[in-house]
Structure formats: C-alpha cells, structure tokens
A and B are shown apart, each in its own frame.
Chain A
Amino acid sequence: MTEPILTVRDLCVDYITDRGPVRAVDRVSLEIAPGEILGIAGESGSGKSTMAQALLRILPPPAVIAGGEVRHGGTDLLALSESELREMRWKRISMVFQSAMDALNPVLTVGEQIVDTLRAHSAMNPRQARERAAALLTRVGIPAAQLDAFAHQLSGGMRQRVGIAIALALEPSLVILDEPTTALDVIVEREILEQIRDLQSRLGFAVMFITHDLGRMLQFSDRVAVFYAARLVEIGPAAAMRRAPRHPYTQGLLRAFPSLHGESAGHESIGGAPPSLEHPPAGCRFHPRCPLAMDRCRVERPEVLEIEPGHSVACFAVT
C-alpha cells in the first residue's frame, strides 16, 4: 500500500453526560490510501458518523476526543489550532452531509453558496468564483443555469449533487460522504454513487463512504470497515468481505441481506439487539449475540489483527 492519505490511530470519542462519559468511538484505527474508496458500515449508534465528524473536529457538544491520533499528510489534525482547522476543513477534507435539504441555506441561491465556499478559502474575485461554480455544477451533472436556483426548486437528488459540488469545490484530497443517499430513492442513489465514482477516478480524491446499507457499500467501495458498538470489528478489501467475511457480526449482516441472484435460501437475522454504550458488555461487545462466543470473549477484548494482507478482524474465534 502506498503512503496513506489519512491515518487514524486508537481514536476515542466520548460524549460527556451528567452520568459521566459514554464512549462512542473506542480505539478505532484505520488508514485511507490516496484515491481509495473506504466504506464504513455499521448500524445506527455504532459510532461511524461520530468517527467521521471527529476527523474534521466538527462534533458538537457534548463530544470530546478522548485520545488517539489522526494524521493527514504529515499533520496531526488533533493538534491543530482553530484557525488551522478552518484552513484544513474543506481544502483538504470535505464532507457531504446526510440531509442535503438542511445543508443548503434556503434563502441563498445554489450559486451564491458555492461562491461563498470558494471565496472563503481563496482569493478569487466574484466573477472567477461564479465561473468556477458553474463549472462545478456541470461537473456533477447539473446545468449551469441552475446557479440561480434556490434549494427548494431542486429535487432531492439535485440538492445532494449540489452538496457534492460544494464538497469538491476546493479539490480536497479526501471527501467524507456521511450517508449521502439515505434520503433518496434507489435509482437516484445509484446515479449519484456512479457519479461520485466517476469524479473520483478523474480527480483522484479519496472517499470515506458511510452508510448502513452494506450491500450498496460492498459494490461501491474498494475496502470496507465494519463498526459494532463503537468499535471496529473488521476491515478488509470489499471483494474479500463479500466473498468471505470473517467476523461473526459481518457474517450475520451479510446473511441478513437477501440476494437477488442465486438460491432463495432465505436470510436470517442476528438475534438480540445492539448493546447500550452506557453499559457495554465486557470483553468482545458482540459476545452476547455471537454464535461462536467462547469464555475468553466474555472477559477479554479482542484486538484487530491482520489475518491476511489488508484484511483484519477483531475476533478470537478467527485470529
């Protein structure tokens, strides 16, 4: 693997509550290579979005980053000052938010918002910025005439494309897509993902793609990381994960996912419910629901270990 563009080491994020800290991201380590699409999968509350927002340091109170290291091109993002962070955000790492409607200002035109983003970070004059905004819109498949449209005049898919255009405005080396297509129907979703893929291969940025749709993610990503109850449980090449997932949780997720082709063997669900992060089970957090649980799983935390090149799992039954 080439020099990673982003390295996360033992990242911990706490939410501070009246009753003490609740760990929402627990010692997560991962890397993203330049030009790679890394999918982050996990159910609601598994910490995937929290982790992504922690990378940009945009988690609102009561969150604190309780430890770890985030390196991007030689800088430690956790050591940056407020003004350095402002510089880093968007120029180096940008984000497409879940709800395009809420991320766009209803009283400004789409063009004005792109121009604002451009001018906040560069010395462009208004005319240059507008030309660039038009180019950006065309790039994501929206006619430049829509520069003067307001958010409510666009469809959900178009709004999300605008969000993508704004995210790409400063040519960042990493774009975080935080469930960008959750609010869209499957056809628009596919179009947008194909568009991102296409832009990504042309412009060469890396993508961190967060979703709870594991099937979509396996198609779309180069590598996939699976989160469970604030921890990373498995990370590996998408092909290997699809073919031979190793962690019992990932296996369960994939079995719960009906296949359009092949045998109609039916699917099964994982019994039980994800644990509360306030009182997580000791040892491996999946053990209460795990078919392979051993005594050791109940007391000792499994570390994420590499089982084959590029494929790592946190499970005693596997490693």
Chain B
Amino acid sequence: MTAPERGRRIGIALWWDAIRRDRQARTGAMVLAVFAFIGIFGPLLVGDPQALVGIPLQPPSPHHLLGTTGQGQDVLAQLVVGTRVSLLIGFGVGFAVVLIGAIVGVTAGFYGGRIDAALSLLFNVFLVIPGLPLAIVIAAYLPTGSFTLALVLIVTGWAWNARVIRAQTLSLRQRDFVAAVIVTGESDVRIITSEILPMMTSLLVAQVIGSTIYAIGAQVGLEFLGLGDVSAVTWGTNLYWSQNDSALLTGAWWTFAPTGLCVALVGFGLSMLNSGFDEISNPRLQLERAWREHLEHRGMKASRSTPVVPEHD
C-alpha cells in the first residue's frame, strides 16, 4: 500500500476539517461564532448597561429593541455585556475542570496502585458531595464575584471528568500498542501524551463541551439565586433582577426571555459542535465518511449490513 500522506490531515487543519465537513458541527460553530463576536465586540457597540436610560419595564420598541428593566436600564445592553462574562466563565471553567480531571484521572489510571487509591478516594469524595448545594454554600461564604463563582464551579465539577478519564486510561493502558511502547523504552510522559491522550481526544472534547454547558447553566443558576455579585452585569444577574422585579407577575417577559434564549442557544451550539469531533481521534471514521457520502450520493443510507451498490444504475 502507498503511504497515507495525502489523505491524512493533522493538527489545526484536522480540527477545522472536522467542523467544516459535518453539518451539525457547522451549525454549532456558526452559533458559537455569533456569540463569540457579541462577547468580544458587543460591549463596544452598546451603551453603558447600568445607565438608567428610560422608563422602567418598557416593552420592546424601536428605541429600546428589547425593552427596559425594572430599573429602567436597556435590556439589550445588559444582555450583550453579560455575554462576555458568562461565556468567559463558562469556557474557562469547562477547560479547567477537564484539565484537572485529565491530570488526576490519567495519573491515577496510568500509575495504579497507591497513587490510584489516593486519587480515587479524593475524587470519589468530591463525587458524593452534591455539587450545586456545595457550590451554594461555598459561594455564600467566599467574597462574591465572578472569580469566586468560577472557582466554586471548578472545585465541584472536576471529579466526574477525572473518574471517566481514569477508567478510559485503565482500558487504554491494557492495549497491546501501549505495552509495545513500554517495551521500546518510551518515557511515561511520552506514553501518556502521545499514546494515551490522543486516543481520548473525542472524549476530552465531549467533556470540555459538556462541562462548559454545565458551567454556564450552574453559573446562571447561582447568580439567579443571588449568590453572585449582583452589581455585575451577567446573564445570571439579569435573571436575578428580573425575578427581583417580579417580571413573571407583571408579564415583563422581555426582561428574562432573551437571556434564557441565549443560554439555551449557547448550549445548543456546543452540543451541535460535539458531533464533528468523533472523527478526530478515530481515523477509521474519516474513511467511513467517504463511504457514507458514496452511499448518500446514490440515495442510500448507511446500514449495518454491507450495502449493495451496483455500479451501473
């Protein structure tokens, strides 16, 4: 067989390709790109979100596109400015918990023995502690603020990832190809970083995405309960103030619906994005894509049994 150079994509190109070629991933990436744009440039385009710009609780109008809050602030400005903080915390926590989970999980799974026993005990303890109540308690004691909130979510969120990664490491460590590189005298670090972790790419990506969704949801939830810094402008505090102003009772839907929709849309975008990534850690699936396209081109669906595709039709 000839060398696989031509068909092979690596690094950034591979990731880009994974997103570009999968329709769901493409949709997700576009949704997230819009939010990223809002998060980065949005605050420059709208006015001060705290400014009292009009009569309180005005419904959407050409002047205030999403109406005004109970304090008479512009809802659109608050939404846009809130996007930045909420996304930063969401992604920051998402990456951080997976990073910690990966370090702890891979170490426990790879070295086994006492190291595994100690680390397993640690994350099992964190697993039995109910996350959200602990988060509420910690958040209530520490000085309020976005950083505290992020810290709380990291402390309560990493253990599950560590556990899953440990299990996956245990399984991969048993594989013959890992045994083979141990025999060739590779260092532990190299075995972990170039043999074991790449096999888990799709798992890690799924975890980052799942953890980010969790972090955004939990953060908004905690802030809604008033456990964040209520003077900051984030999606969660928007909802807190909306509730504080009895928006549901007064029917002021525009004060909470846009924020809720944004939370849902970001979650949706992240979930969609996930579907493109299975291929990255499984080159075999890249081959299957050509096969699926070959079938779809002829109006057939991928089936469990070997499909029959006559050449001349």
Contact = CB atoms under 8 A, between A and B. Distances in A.
Interface residues of B, number: 23
Contact of B311 (A58, A67, A278): A67
Given A17-B7, A276-B1, A64 B290 contact: no
A46 to B, nearest CB: 14
B287 A62 contact: yes
B65 interface: no
Interface string A175-204: 000000000000000000000000000000
A79 B307 CA distance: 10
Contacts of A17: 7, 287, 290
Nearest to A19: B7
Interface in B294-313: 294-295, 302-312
Given A19-B6, A21-B294, A82-B303, A61 B287 contact: yes
B12 to A, nearest CB: 19
A16 B294 contact: yes
Contacts of B231: none
Interface string B55-95: 00000000000000000000000000000000000000000
Contacts of B309: 14, 64-66
Interface string B99-139: 00000000000000000000000000000000000000000
B288 interface: yes
Contact of A64 (B7, B294, B312): B294
From A16, A54, A59, A66, name the one whose CB has the most chain B CB atoms within 10 angstroms: A16
A85 to B, nearest CB: 5
A54 B305 CA distance: 9
Interface in A1-53: 12-14, 16-19, 21, 53
A61 B6 contact: no
B184 interface: no
B294 A85 contact: no
A61 B291 contact: yes
Interface residues of A, number: 27
A216 B1 CA distance: 28
A57 B311 CA distance: 17
A82 B305 contact: yes
A121 B33 CA distance: 52
A166 interface: no
A82 B288 contact: no
A78 interface: yes
A61 B302 CA distance: 9
Nearest to A14: B309
A65 B308 contact: yes
A11 to B, nearest CB: 10
Interface in A217-243: none
B2 interface: yes
A62 B308 CA distance: 12
Central interface residue in A53, A63, A65, A79, by most chain B CB within 10 Å: A65
A61 B310 CA distance: 16
B162 to A, nearest CB: 26
B306 A57 contact: yes
Interface of B: 1-2, 6-7, 286-288, 290-292, 294-295, 302-312
25 contacts: A16-B290, A16-B294, A17-B7, A19-B6, A19-B7, A57-B306, A60-B306, A61-B287, A61-B292, A61-B302, A62-B288, A62-B290, A62-B291, A63-B291, A63-B306, A64-B291, A64-B307, A65-B307, A65-B309, A66-B310, A78-B308, A82-B304, A276-B1, A276-B2, A278-B2
Given A61-B292, A67-B311, 4 more contacts: A18-B6, A21-B294, A54-B306, A60-B306
4 tightest Cβ-Cβ pairs between the two chains A and B: A62-B291, A57-B305, A59-B306, A16-B291
